Amino acid sequence: MKITVRQPFVKIRVHSWLKICCLSALSWWGNIVHGHPDHDHHSADHTGTVLTDGAEVIGHNGLRYRVNREWSQADPAVAPVTNAHAMIEDSEGHIYLVTDDMANAFIVYEKDGTFVRTIAHEDLKGGHGIDLITLDGEEHLIHVDGGWHQTQPSAWEWERTNGSVTILHKDGTIRLRLPSPHDLGVFTEDERYQPCDVAITPDNDILVADGYASDRVLHFKPDGTLVRVWGGPNPGHPGHLKNAHGISIDYSDPAQPKVWVSSRAENKLKAFTLEGDWLETIDLPGARAGQAFFAHDKLYTGVCWSLENGVGQQLPESGFVLILDQATHRVLSAPGGTEPTFIDGELQPMHQAQPIFKHVHDLYVDDQGDIYVGEWNSGNRYPYKLELIHE
């Protein structure tokens, strides 16, 4: 077992990276590909134009943000990133970015973007989702391997395999890998397992969203005991899931926590009980939204793609951010997207309005209301920070 922790030897400020081009193909799958997990099988084009630094202001209705393209001060020679998949903040105020670059599993930052270290482990590949869990009084990381493993350093070439969920100490040593549904006899040998995300329940259990394969949710005890399996495709039922890309829990009503699962291919977020019973759906027309993040009485989510004029074909490099009222689910602001409009109370189709982002994969919101945005297929770009303008 090999663990590598890289410390910075020099600090540089990373400028915006090269523009890329991709086309999405939701129906294509293979084993060795020049594509990538988010259903894209065209190789990335790194020959585009350099995005200039700027102080763009984006957003609507009092939720406006200054775009900080240079938040990350990581050196790509020390801490390369292919896809900046997801982020979280630990109890010490460090921001952890999970990546699928074969050189490192995590990049660790100070809140101001100062690079702290990387964590690399030969058994941690295909980084897609991240969370924190406290066990025996110690805060641990959870690494979600989505089953797409890079085959060449920092290259757009991947092998499709089964993924995994791993609990590890913050020094990079592994505490436990959750058993796969194949080990437990839940999946047949020919069924794939490619988890996208996890959420922690009030009882400190782990919910795993198998969003690149079965679209089912697996409920585990932290020792690896399987409690139940629910969800999955069920056309015609309101709880039907298609590309269950993100999972999170809304604790605003302690008597009834709601498990929110993204049905990304349907442009919907769906709420369930902890037992898997469907409760309600948020329709986000035109927006392929991922994980819901709850903070400041709001629901934040990243849009990986949007549709042409909100209703047509899915467009590459068409992501933006959505901010909803947590209680009413009304869309308040769409940084990088069209201003939310309603007719007779119904949200109208949305799409990208400003080419700030390419494909917003996930995001994290800090205690100041600033948003850290991770992207997929953005030309090896580090996260941007959206700094809330207090008006």
Instruction: With a cut of 50, say whether residue 30 has pLDDT above it.
Output: no
Average pLDDT, rounded, for the chain: 89
Please name the residues in contact with 137: beta carbons below 8 A apart, sequence gap of 6 or more: none
Per the structure block, which two tokens stand in for 207?
């919910």
At 6 the pLDDT is 54
At 112 the pLDDT is 98
Distance separating alpha carbons of residues 96 and 87, to the nearest angstrom: 5
Average pLDDT for 372-382? 97
Instruction: With a cut of 80, say whether residue 113 has pLDDT above it.
Output: yes
pTM over 0.85: yes
Q: Is the distance from CB of 370 to CB of 293 less than 8 angstroms?
A: no
At 48 the pLDDT is 28
Average pLDDT for 115-142? 97
Instruction: With a cut of 70, say whether residue 22 has pLDDT above it.
Output: no
- In DSSP notation, 168-204 reads E-TTS-EEEEPPPTTTTTSS-TTS-----EEEE-TTS
At 149 the pLDDT is 98
Instruction: With a cut of 60, say whether residue 53 has pLDDT above it.
Output: no
Give me the phi and psi of 309, to 5 degrees please: 55, 20
Q: pLDDT tens, 208-265?
A: 999 999 999 999 999 999 999 999 999 999 999 999 999 999 999 999 999 999 999 9
Q: pLDDT tens, 64-79?
A: 999 999 999 999 999 9
Instruction: With a cut of 50, say whether residue 157 has pLDDT above it.
Output: yes
Q: Is the distance from CB of 223 to CB of 250 less than 8 angstroms?
A: no
At 391 the pLDDT is 81
Is residue 55 very low, low, confident or very high in pLDDT (cuts 50, 70, 90)?
confident
Among 389, 382, 353, CA closest to 368: 389
- To the nearest 10°, report the CA torsion of 68, 74, 80, 85: -40
What topology does CATH give the domain 3-388? Neuraminidase (2.120.10)
Among 93, 77, 181, CA closest to 132: 93
